[in-house]
């Protein structure tokens, strides 16, 4: 066991994978000499050299596009997008190129690249640096999507992403980088694409991912004090989506809530709620509830910012009402 931060775990995953696989290269803005805007790639350039840790100009479309070309010609690139908010800049290369190349070309070749980025609120970073855009990715066939909530998953999901044959978008949460956990990285991780049941309870199922897992766990503790016991499912990856685990628990318990930081309308929570409603209809005692981000841009004001996304209090309150 060792105490690590989420940031340390990500860095260790990159370093360990790069040591094992000489084809892994990192490219992005400030990933080398600066060490990454959030410090994830700190000193990797010293360890692996500038041929493998490549500082780029501020050119997001071509960073992702170069990763596509590198992946098609034998490398395993990790492109870093400093903020997920810049996804729109790169969407042609990600959604029209990386996601479709295997299919359009009849299975001749895949694009084994990882696009590392970070999103979410929590640093008073304003409307263009605080979004949760995972729905854009989840809505695009051909992309895998991982969103680690824990230190152990930051390590294991990134190592697993670097073994996948298809493009993986890997979205970290900016509010989690300094979170610490005692982790045993030698312990066998859950398989890629499997959700983790973080808490077992008989009264309702809460399905979530990324930073909201921690708010849900706080809410579950508060609910428990009132005699309500929640089962908490951390999806870990949104594509593949482990719906079997969701179904198993929802069918047993009959009440479900979905919690996501992304904007409510047409978001990840909407998709999950629709699927649960459709596939588990006969087992539900109440409508599936979405607790998600407001349909508004994120403000710099910390009060408005934290009010724009779910928190433990809202989650606990709505769970309590669902059971009332």
Partner 1 sequence: MSKPKGASAPGTKTNSDLPELYRTMRRVRSFEERVGELFVRGQTAGSMLHLSIGEESAAAGITAAMKPQDTFTTHHRGHGIFLARGADPKRMMAEIGGKEAGYCHGKGGSMHIADMGLGHLGANAIVGGGIPAVVGAGLSARRKRNNAVSVAFFGDGATGQGVLYESMNMAALWGLPVLFACINNQYGMGTRIDQATANTALHERAIAFGLNGESVDGLDVEEVAEAARRLVDAARAGKPGFLAVSCYRFYGHARKDKSPYRDAAEEEAGRQRDPVAFARARLIERGLVKAAELDALDSEIAREMDATIDFTIAQNEPPLASMFRDVFDPSEPEPEPVRTRLNRVLATEQENG
Residues that bind partner 1 (CB under 8 A): 23, 25, 27, 51-52, 54, 56-57, 59, 61-62, 64-75, 77, 92-93, 96-97, 100-110, 141-142, 144, 165-166, 240, 278-279, 281-282
Residues 6+ apart with CB under 8 A from 129: 83, 85, 123
60 is catalytic: yes
Angstrom CA distances, 98 to 18, 102, 165, 180, 195, stand at 22, 8, 12, 34, 25
How far apart CA 109 and CA 97 sit, in angstroms, is: 12
Supply the minimum distance, in Å, between the C-beta of residue 123 and partner 1: 28
Locate 51 and state its tokens: 């041929």
Separation of CA 275 from chain center: 20
Nearer to partner 1, 6 or 48 (CB): 48
Enter the DSSP assignment of 96. I
Which residue out of 29, 80, 129, 134 is catalytically annotated? 129
Supply the minimum distance, in Å, between the C-beta of residue 300 and partner 1: 28
Which residue out of 29, 30, 47, 60 is catalytically annotated? 60
129 is catalytic: yes
Dump strand ranges (E) for the chain: 2-5, 24-28, 53-55, 76-81, 114-119, 144-146, 168-173, 180-183, 196-199, 204-208, 230-234, 237-239, 256-263, 289-293
Nearer to partner 1, 225 or 281 (CB): 281
3-state SS of the chain: helix, strand, coil percent to 5?
40, 20, 40
Nearer to partner 1, 56 or 224 (CB): 56
Supply the minimum distance, in Å, between the C-beta of residue 56 and partner 1: 7
Nearer to partner 1, 25 or 259 (CB): 25
Contact 145, 237 (CB under 8 A): yes
Supply the minimum distance, in Å, between the C-beta of residue 282 and partner 1: 4
Supply the minimum distance, in Å, between the C-beta of residue 117 and partner 1: 17
Nearer to partner 1, 69 or 126 (CB): 69
Residues identified as active-site: 60, 129
């Amino acid at each position: 066991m060792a105490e690590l931060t989420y940031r340390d775990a990500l860095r260790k995953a990159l370093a360990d994978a790069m040591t094992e696989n000489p084809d892994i290269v990192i490219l992005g803005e400030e990933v080398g000499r600066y060490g990454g805007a959030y410090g994830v790639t700190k000193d990797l350039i010293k360890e692996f050299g500038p041929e493998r840790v490549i500082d780029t100009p501020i050119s997001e479309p071509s960073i992702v596009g170069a990763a596509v070309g590198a992946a098609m010609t034998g490398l395993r690139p990790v492109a870093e997008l400093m903020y997920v908010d810049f996804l729109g800049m790169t969407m042609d290369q990600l959604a029209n190129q990386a996601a479709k190349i295997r299919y359009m070309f009849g299975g001749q070749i895949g694009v084994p690249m990882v696009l590392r980025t970070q999103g979410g609120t929590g640093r008073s970073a304003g409307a263009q640096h605080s979004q949760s855009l995972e729905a854009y990715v989840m809505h695009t066939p051909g992309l895998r999507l991982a969103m680690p909530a824990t230190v152990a998953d930051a390590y294991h999901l990134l190592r697993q992403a670097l073994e996948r044959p298809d493009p993986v978008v890997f979205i970290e949460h900016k509010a989690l980088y300094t979170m610490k956990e005692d982790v045993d990285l030698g312990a066998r991780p859950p398989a890629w694409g499997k959700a983790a049941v973080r808490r077992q309870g008989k009264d309702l199922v809460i399905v979530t991912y990324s930073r909201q897992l921690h708010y849900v766990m706080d809410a579950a503790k508060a609910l428990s004090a009132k005699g309500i016991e929640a089962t908490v499912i951390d999806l870990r990856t949104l594509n593949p989506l482990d719906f079997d685990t969701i179904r198993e628990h929802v069918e047993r318990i009959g009440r479900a809530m979905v919690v996501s930081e992304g904007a409510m309308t047409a978001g990840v929570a909407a998709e999950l709620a629709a699927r649960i409603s459709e596939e588990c209809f006969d087992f539900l005692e109440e409508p599936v509830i979405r607790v998600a981000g407001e349909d508004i841009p994120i403000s710099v004001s910390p009060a408005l910012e934290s009010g724009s996304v779910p928190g433990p209090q809202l989650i606990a309150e709505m769970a309590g009402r669902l059971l009332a």
